[in-house]
Chains A and B, each alone.
Chain A
Amino acid sequence: MNGMMIFKVALRALLRNKVRSILTALGIIVGIAAVIAVVAIGEGASTSMKAQISSMGDNMLIVFGGSMKKGGVHGGSGGFQTLMSEDGEAMSRDYPELIKAYTPLVRSGGQAIYQENNWATQIQGVTPTFVAVRKWDVASGVFFTDADLRAGARVCVVGQTIVDSLFNGQDPIGETFRVRNIPFKVLGVLSKKGTTSMGQDQDDIIIMPLTTVKRVLRRGSFNNVDQLLFSIYDMGQMAEAKRAMSDLLRQRHRLGPTVEDDFTIIDMTEISDMLTSVSSMMTILMAVVASISLLVGGIGIMNIMLVSVTERTREIGLRMAIGAAPVAILLQFLTEAAVLSTLGGVLGILLGVGGAYTVGDLNKWPIYVTPISVVISFGFSAFVGIFFGFYPALRASRLNPIDCLRYE
């Protein structure tokens, strides 16, 4: 009796009792489907969270000015205007192996007016390298140039929300709108970024040359900026870059060893790690709950297999009488349990994937079915079948053929 034969015999025995086979596998089907669906939903959430975070920039490191204590009072982020555009330039110059791109950033805001529409929005002043740092390019038109930056030209690029609210969705390129009665010309429209996981609309923004914001909107004479944005070559260099940045800024700001930092460095990977650790904890928790249902499914298989052994006592007796060795009986029942549970596993995977996408569609949740979860579920269902099928199979193989043939 070779493996193929045992498999055929087991399959035939299962097909002879289709309804019972399906009912037996149901526990496994539901358990696997639950695991697959839960993991797919969880992974979808965490993947989209990661995508959102990476959409904020390319391995971004942000330096805020401020948080210096003066006379016991914390100024908070941006409270003191100590951060210079030159700080960032020095950093780029000193660490070319770390810094891929850099832009200083100043923030402003105001009521933008175009024809009969007006819209309050935030305005950021940056350099053209902003495109590289934030991995955010124009979808149409052009970004402003270094020449615009040097000239402090009254030009800008706008986010999609501005197009929708200020320009009624019309193409704004070449149009002029006003902020505080100063006209600005739209050169381009930024590609859509969407809402952050914190609910902030990233597309509700106007980007201008740094010099324009400082001279025209803020009318400042100081050379300070609000933020320095850096893009680091490799994720693994984050810690090194932060340390280098901190040392350089302390040195340039002439802070003594006992003085606190007058800046704050934020690493986007920290936020990303925090968010993903929360979501993966939820996924694990739900997967544990789903696994328990899988265990129950396994016990269901054992229960039905035990009933099946009792019910098929005469069949077992006959098979033994015509020459089935105990090991052949053991393997037959074991194979039946394994086939049942793996088929249940396959159906469960299909059901779980389908269910996850259905739920995802209804709730507009992102879904990501990881190949590893499918492989593990399949392996686990086979294991459940063999583990819980072994005892009934062993019992069947130990039966005495004479008693079996006499069994009513």
Chain B
Amino acid sequence: MGQEDVWALNGVTLQVKKGEFVAIMGHSGSGKSTLLNVLGCLDVPTSGRYILDGTPVAGMNRAALARVRNQKIGFVFQSFNLLSRTTARENVELPMLYNPTAPRGKALHDRAEYLLEHVGLGDRMLHTPGQLSGGQQQRVAIARALMNNPPLLLADEPTGNLDSHASQEIMHYFRKLNEQGQTIVMVTHETDIAAYAKRKIVMRDGKVLP
């Protein structure tokens, strides 16, 4: 039995403008995660183009993609993906460790502390993920995503592991960020979560529904 080519995405044309808050919806297998991977420069399309913040991404090698991810994209994951047994502040500082132009030492701490205060965790900076609730962990993850001041914030089911109260908090925060000019693209399958976004895109079988 040979391998069958699967077109996870097919003929997707999508433009996200600066300052937009887009929710990508769709059932599992609809290609929304693949689209997010491409947007996040974790995956490259077999054919086609992707221009991020004026830079064509296609054809870049792994190191160059890593640099683009570091400086232009902030990720928020469903399962937070914080380093265990590591303080909130250190988790937030992590992206800057891989940013050669970033400040070091005190300036690094200051930026992390500023962001943690901004997400309302000013009193939890030295707590480890195990000592934080799900909502708090996700807020640490958001602070981390913002660390390098990226033009694009990508969120993959950011409320998937949270109760409804924490979900609302996170979405309020996203909306606040967006009002301050942050471009956000979020994948979700929950309509009430998608309702926080300004624009909705529905996907099915690798295509964007009109």
Query: Are A322 and B144 in touch, CB under 8 angstroms?
Result: yes
Query: Are A324 and B98 in touch, CB under 8 angstroms?
Result: yes
Query: Are A326 and B97 in touch, CB under 8 angstroms?
Result: no
Query: Are A16 and B67 in touch, CB under 8 angstroms?
Result: no
Query: Are A322 and B62 in touch, CB under 8 angstroms?
Result: no
B43 proximal to A (CB < 8 A): yes
Q: CA separation between A319 and B43, bound complex, in Å?
A: 15
Query: Are A323 and B95 in touch, CB under 8 angstroms?
Result: yes
As a 0/1 sequence over residues 152 to 170 of chain A, the CB contacts with chain B under 8 angstroms (1 = contact) are 0000000000000000000
The contact of B63 among A12, A314, A321, A327, by CB within 8 Å, is A327
Query: Are A401 and B144 in touch, CB under 8 angstroms?
Result: no
Query: Are B69 and A315 in touch, CB under 8 angstroms?
Result: no
Contacts of A319 in B (CB 8 A): 94, 98
Contacts of A326 in B (CB 8 A): 62-63, 66
B85 proximal to A (CB < 8 A): yes
Contact A1-B71, Cβ < 8 Å, known A318-B83, A405-B77:
no
A328 proximal to B (CB < 8 A): yes
Q: Quick one: which of A291-316 are within 8 Å of B by CB?
A: 314-315
Q: CA separation between A322 and B41, bound complex, in Å?
A: 11
Q: Quick one: which of B75-120 are within 8 Å of A by CB?
A: 75, 77, 81, 83-86, 90, 94-95, 97-100, 104
Name the CB-closest residue of A to B148: A323
Q: How far is the CB of A19 from chain B (nearest CB, A)?
A: 12
Which 4 A/B pairs are nearest by Cβ-Cβ distance? A323-B70, A325-B66, A325-B63, A323-B98
A402 proximal to B (CB < 8 A): yes
**Which one of B42, B84, B85, B95 has the highest number of Cβ atoms from chain A below 10 Å of its Cβ?**
B42
Query: Are B97 and A321 in touch, CB under 8 angstroms?
Result: no
Query: Are A1 and B66 in touch, CB under 8 angstroms?
Result: no
Q: Interface residues, chain B, CB within 8 Å of chain A? A: 37, 40, 42-43, 62-63, 66-67, 69-71, 75, 77, 81, 83-86, 90, 94-95, 97-100, 104, 144, 148
Contacts of B81 in A (CB 8 A): 314, 317-318, 321, 405
Name the CB-closest residue of A to B84: A16
Contacts of B62 in A (CB 8 A): 325-326
Q: List 20 A-B contacts (CB under 8 A).
A: A5-B97, A12-B86, A314-B81, A315-B83, A318-B77, A319-B94, A319-B98, A320-B66, A321-B75, A323-B67, A323-B70, A323-B71, A323-B95, A324-B70, A324-B98, A325-B62, A325-B98, A326-B66, A327-B63, A402-B42
Name the CB-closest residue of B to A321: B75
Secondary structure dominating the interface of A: helix
Q: CA separation between A327 and B42, bound complex, in Å?
A: 16
Q: How far is the CB of A408 from chain B (nearest CB, A)?
A: 10
Q: Quick one: which of A173-188 are within 8 Å of B by CB?
A: none
A56 proximal to B (CB < 8 A): no
Q: CA separation between A1 and B63, bound complex, in Å?
A: 13
Q: CA separation between A317 and B42, bound complex, in Å?
A: 10
A268 proximal to B (CB < 8 A): no
Name the CB-closest residue of A to B83: A315
Q: Quick one: which of A1-56 are within 8 Å of B by CB?
A: 1-2, 5, 9, 12, 16
Q: CA separation between A58 and B155, bound complex, in Å?
A: 84
Query: Are A16 and B85 in touch, CB under 8 angstroms?
Result: yes
Contact A328-B83, Cβ < 8 Å, known A320-B66, A322-B144:
no
Contacts of B144 in A (CB 8 A): 322
Contact A322-B94, Cβ < 8 Å, known A16-B86, A402-B37, A405-B77:
yes
Contacts of B85 in A (CB 8 A): 16
Q: How far is the CB of A395 from chain B (nearest CB, A)?
A: 15
Q: How far is the CB of B108 from chain A (nearest CB, A)?
A: 10
Q: CA separation between A327 and B90, bound complex, in Å?
A: 21
Q: CA separation between A363 and B98, bound complex, in Å?
A: 55
Q: CA separation between A1 and B168, bound complex, in Å?
A: 37
Contacts of B97 in A (CB 8 A): 1, 5, 9
Query: Are B66 and A323 in touch, CB under 8 angstroms?
Result: yes
Query: Are A322 and B98 in touch, CB under 8 angstroms?
Result: yes
**Which one of B37, B62, B90, B97 has the highest number of Cβ atoms from chain A below 10 Å of its Cβ?**
B97
Name the CB-closest residue of A to B64: A325
Q: A315-B83, A323-B66 given. 18 additional CB < 8 A pairs?
A: A1-B97, A1-B98, A1-B100, A2-B100, A5-B97, A12-B90, A16-B85, A314-B81, A318-B77, A318-B83, A319-B94, A321-B42, A324-B70, A325-B66, A326-B62, A401-B42, A402-B43, A405-B77
Query: Are B40 and A321 in touch, CB under 8 angstroms?
Result: yes
Q: How far is the CB of A216 from chain B (nearest CB, A)?
A: 89
Contacts of B83 in A (CB 8 A): 16, 315, 318
Name the CB-closest residue of B to A2: B100
Contacts of A5 in B (CB 8 A): 97, 104
Q: CA separation between A390 and B86, bound complex, in Å?
A: 26
Contact A325-B67, Cβ < 8 Å, known A12-B90, A402-B43:
yes
Contacts of A315 in B (CB 8 A): 83
**Which one of B83, B99, B100 has the highest number of Cβ atoms from chain A below 10 Å of its Cβ?**
B83
Q: How far is the CB of A30 from chain B (nearest CB, A)?
A: 27
Q: CA separation between A317 and B84, bound complex, in Å?
A: 14
Contacts of B43 in A (CB 8 A): 402
